[in-house]
């Protein structure tokens, strides 16, 4: 048990960037859906991600990420669980949530002004099937940037922790991996929506930690692009200029989509205000 806690705290020291993103996720999630639902979402996301990673890499079924293998060279410095790095499965908690919340922001009506940005009826929107299909796409979009530079982890402080035995067609990454990310996020979101109804009665108090603050609707976008920005920075830092430029080009449509959503919402809010005067 002492060894477990040693490895757990050693993981925090060894992978501080993961836990910075995790802390941001916990703040956004708790203030948006409450600490009870955040706890349920976190546990669910971790378990689903772990099972899928174990199935693909350790059991060598190749489902759902395609066939790849972990390289265990850090088990003396960080926590591994049944052949899977703890921080890998943990990362899916904030990656899936931020994609889910950003999908909600993109599909929900927004009240936009210079003083605030709020999503209208976010609770109902985030449970919709439209969001359930869009969120996995946004997480898969993250992986288009994340996995190519992660595969080159031996050239930065991530380290070489996995490889594809037959390589991949996109900067060494297999297309199956991207479909796997879509599948994992889809399952996490849909299972959470189902479990939320099952575990929590309609009358249950789920507002613990919920907090309204200015520009709350932009929090998910901030974390989403923070994750993208970190990985793009590392891409250029290790000298992969071509990969970095491709990544920037890939990111621009999502950024443009968010800016257009904000502009359209602000215009609609202005027209509505003018019509009521």
pLDDT tens per residue across span 224-248: 999 999 999 999 999 999 999 999 9
181 found inside a domain: yes
Whether 56 contacts 68, CB under 8 Å: yes
184 found inside a domain: yes
Dihedral sign for Cα atoms in the order 168, 242, 158, 64: negative
By C-alpha distance, which of 95, 88, 100 is closest to 50? Answer: 88
Mean pLDDT of the region 150-169 = 94
Q: How crowded is residue 216: how many other Cβ atoms within 10 Å of its Cβ?
A: 18
67 found inside a domain: no
Whole-number pLDDT of residue 195: 94
Task: Pick the more confident residue, 114 or 256.
Answer: 256
pLDDT band at 113 (very low <50, low <70, confident <90, very high): confident
Q: Where are the alpha helices (DSSP H) in 209-240?
A: 219-237
83 found inside a domain: no
Comparing 173-182, 190-199, 261-270, which segment has the lowest mean pLDDT? 261-270
153 found inside a domain: yes
13 found inside a domain: no
Domain count along the chain: 1
Whether 274 has a pLDDT exceeding 70, the answer reads no
By C-alpha distance, which of 213, 257, 229, 210 is closest to 102? Answer: 257
218 found inside a domain: yes
Q: Where are the alpha helices (DSSP H) in 54-166?
A: 86-107, 122-125, 129-151
Q: Structural domain of residue 147, as residue ranges? A: 88-276
Mean pLDDT of the region 34-44 = 96
38 found inside a domain: no
Dihedral sign for Cα atoms in the order 202, 203, 205, 210: positive
């Amino acid at each position: 048990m002492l060894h477990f806690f040693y490895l757990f705290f050693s993981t925090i020291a060894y992978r501080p960037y993961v836990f910075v993103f995790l802390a941001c996720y916990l703040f956004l999630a708790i203030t948006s859906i409450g600490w009870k639902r955040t706890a349920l979402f976190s546990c669910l996301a971790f378990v689903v991600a772990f099972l899928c990673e174990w199935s693909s890499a350790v059991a060598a079924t190749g489902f759902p990420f395609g066939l790849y293998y972990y390289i265990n060279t850090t088990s003396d410095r960080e926590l591994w669980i049944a052949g899977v790095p703890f921080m890998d499965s943990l990362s899916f908690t904030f990656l899936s949530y931020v994609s889910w919340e950003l999908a909600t922001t993109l599909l929900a009506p927004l009240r936009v002004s210079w003083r605030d940005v709020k999503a209208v009826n976010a609770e109902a929107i985030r449970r919709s099937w439209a969001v359930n299909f869009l969120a996995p796409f946004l997480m898969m979009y993250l992986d288009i940037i994340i996995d190519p530079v992660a595969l080159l982890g031996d050239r930065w402080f991530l380290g070489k922790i996995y490889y594809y035995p037959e390589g991949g067609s996109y900067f060494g990454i297999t297309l199956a991996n991207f479909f796997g990310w879509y599948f994992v996020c889809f399952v996490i979101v849909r299972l959470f929506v189902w479990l939320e109804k099952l575990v929590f009665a309609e009358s249950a108090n789920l507002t613990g930690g919920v907090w309204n603050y200015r520009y709350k609707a932009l929090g998910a976008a901030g974390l989403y692009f923070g994750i993208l920005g970190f990985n793009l920075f590392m891409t250029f830092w290790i000298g992969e200029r071509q990969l970095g430029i491709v990544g920037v080009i890939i990111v621009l449509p999502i950024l443009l989509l968010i800016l257009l959503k904000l502009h359209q919402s602000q215009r609609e809010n202005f027209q509505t205000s003018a019509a009521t005067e």
